[in-house]
Amino acid sequence: MASTISFSTGNVRLIRVGYDHHYVGLRLICPQRCVSFVARAKAKPSMVIRASNEQDTSAKISSRSIEECEAAAVAGNFPDPLPLYRPSGPRGTPDAKPLSLSRRPRRNRKSATLRVSFQETNLSAANLVLPLFIHEGEEDVPIGAMPGCFRLGWRHGLLDEVYKARDVGVSSFVLFPKIPDALKSQTGDESFNDNGLVPRAIRLLKDKYPDIVVYTDVALDPYSSDGHDGIVREDGVIMNDETVHQLCKQAVSQARAGADVVSPSDMMDGRVGAIRAALDAEGFHDVSIMSYTAKYASAFYGPFREALDSNPRFGDKKTYQMNPANYREALTETEADEAEGADILLVKPALPYLDVVRFLRDNSALPIAAYQVSGEYSMIKAGGVLKMIDEEKVMMESLLCIRRAGADIILSYFARQAASVLCGMSGMKFK
């Protein structure tokens, strides 16, 4: 069926687009000029464009006005229908009888519009939390094992990075401090110093950007001279209840500085309930707790420990972090954290533990977070640098998969880069 469009032919040019290059469209030469689709004087000819299976798709000018075309339609004199066009396969394609299928799932994938319409999982900047490393210095120090990541100077570099992230829609941040060795101790007392690095950074951020959400890390390892998440007994045992006592003071100090969400990552037993009680006792009823519910003793944390210089001085963290071989144990941790008052449950790492993310999603009504850790980030970056993968596509696919598994929010060092892609600024250079 011929299509009739009314406008001046001087303002348009013909372009070939669409199905097998057999259709012709129109594009304005001057986009600033408005095209009117209202019927005009009879003297203005109409442009008629026919789609056919011929390569010569020249536009033909009809001598009939819009009114004459409408009168013909009322009288039942319709234009000839478009010829039926069926694309053929390559030479040698068998003449197969169509399969008798009641369902053909590919029908819902046949165009970009349909694929978007039926997409089950979506990713936006609101789902992303950007981890930031901070230190006492003025300069931003690059982290060798994490290309594109820096230890940010807490006065200037931190504010600059948050500004850039907010510009592409990221409004949630989690802080990790690199503490000077001189301030570290076996009991991690610097962790609850109200004038320490993290409280100062929180106050600065909330003063400059009061609308952002600030998450904090509650653990002793950045402050411990032993590099462990808890106080170490003389026989090497990590002391649980004594560590929880310190963590409560740390969480209250962070809340006092203005933290929105405190995040115990230590994996001590009973710490969520103790921290909730400590926060409530100080009047911080609105401060949320994001518990590292299923934090595994993973080899994917290596670059992070370089960033904070927080490797254990001896031994490992397997007596308090979860065994990577265990799945059902995550349910034990989930039930405990829910009962103790956690507001958000987190799985760490993310991609190697998507089954655990889905397990928590299916067994809890609380929001689920997943941490795409430093090792995951660095592998994608390295693969991109070596041209083994398309970094941007793998980055976006990995984040979408974490969302598909059930995560409501994702802590990722890719947060700003991914948000730039989502808002159409693909290919941005990052310092």
Q: Dump pLDDT digits (tens) for 319-359.
A: 999 999 999 999 999 999 999 999 999 999 999 999 999 99
Decide if 417 is inside a domain. yes
Summarised one tens digit per residue, pLDDT across range 66-110 is 998 899 989 988 888 888 888 899 999 999 999 999 999 999 999
Cα 341 to Cα 354: distance, rounded to the nearest angstrom:
24
Residue 354 host element (H or E) = helix 354-363
Q: What is the pLDDT of residue 60?
A: 57
Answer yes or no: do 251 and 153 share one domain.
yes
Beta carbons within 8 Å of 116's beta carbon, 6+ residues apart: none
Task: Return phi, psi of residue 289, to 5°.
Answer: -120, 120
Cα 219 to Cα 333: distance, rounded to the nearest angstrom:
17
Answer yes or no: do 11 and 160 share one domain.
no
Of the candidates 178, 184, 317, 348, the residue annotated as catalytic is: 348
Cα 406 to Cα 211: distance, rounded to the nearest angstrom:
26
The residue with greater pLDDT, 282 or 57, is 282
Decide if 100 is inside a domain. no
Q: Is 429 a catalytic residue?
A: no
Answer yes or no: do 77 and 138 share one domain.
no
Summarised one tens digit per residue, pLDDT across range 179-230 is 999 999 999 999 999 999 999 999 999 999 999 999 999 999 999 999 899 9
Answer yes or no: do 65 and 182 share one domain.
no
Answer yes or no: do 155 and 280 share one domain.
yes
Answer yes or no: do 242 and 318 share one domain.
yes
| Domain interval for residue 349 | 125-422
Residue 316 has pLDDT above 50, yes or no: yes
Residue 159 host element (H or E) = helix 157-167
Strand, helix or coil at 379? helix
Answer yes or no: do 162 and 79 share one domain.
no
Summarised one tens digit per residue, pLDDT across range 2-56 is 444 444 444 444 444 444 444 444 444 444 444 443 444 444 444 444 444 444 4
Q: What is the pLDDT of residue 20?
A: 43
Q: What is the pLDDT of residue 52?
A: 43
Decide if 375 is inside a domain. yes
**Which pLDDT band holds residue 64 (cuts at 50, 70, 90)?**
confident
Mean pLDDT value across residues 158-184? 96
Q: Is 60 a catalytic residue?
A: no
- Only one residue has tokens 């115990």, namely 264
- Boundary (domain end) residue, out of 32, 61, 85: 85
Domain count, the chain: 2
Beta bridge partners of 177: 134
Answer yes or no: do 277 and 408 share one domain.
yes
Strand, helix or coil at 163? helix
Answer yes or no: do 154 and 294 share one domain.
yes
Pairing of the two strands 150-153 and 172-177: unpaired
Of the candidates 178, 295, 317, 381, the residue annotated as catalytic is: 295
Decide if 77 is inside a domain. yes
Decide if 134 is inside a domain. yes
Beta carbons within 8 Å of 218's beta carbon, 6+ residues apart: 247, 250, 251, 254, 262, 263, 264, 265, 266, 271, 275
Classify each residue of 22-32 as buried b or exposed e, where b means 16 or more C-beta atoms within 10 Å of its C-beta: bbbebeeeeee
Cα 389 to Cα 381: distance, rounded to the nearest angstrom:
9
Q: What is the pLDDT of residue 35?
A: 40
Q: What is the pLDDT of residue 14?
A: 42
Answer yes or no: do 78 and 205 share one domain.
no
Answer yes or no: do 48 and 148 share one domain.
no
Q: What is the pLDDT of residue 427?
A: 56
- Boundary (domain end) residue, out of 85, 112, 138: 85
- Boundary (domain end) residue, out of 85, 101, 133: 85
Task: Return phi, psi of residue 46, to 5°.
Answer: -100, 150
CATH number of the CATH domain containing 252:
3.20.20.70
Decide if 114 is inside a domain. no
Cα 217 to Cα 247: distance, rounded to the nearest angstrom:
10
Decide if 342 is inside a domain. yes
Our CA dihedral for 14, 19, 20, 25, rounded to 10 degrees, sits at 0
Answer yes or no: do 200 and 149 share one domain.
yes
Q: What is the pLDDT of residue 429?
A: 52
Decide if 430 is inside a domain. no
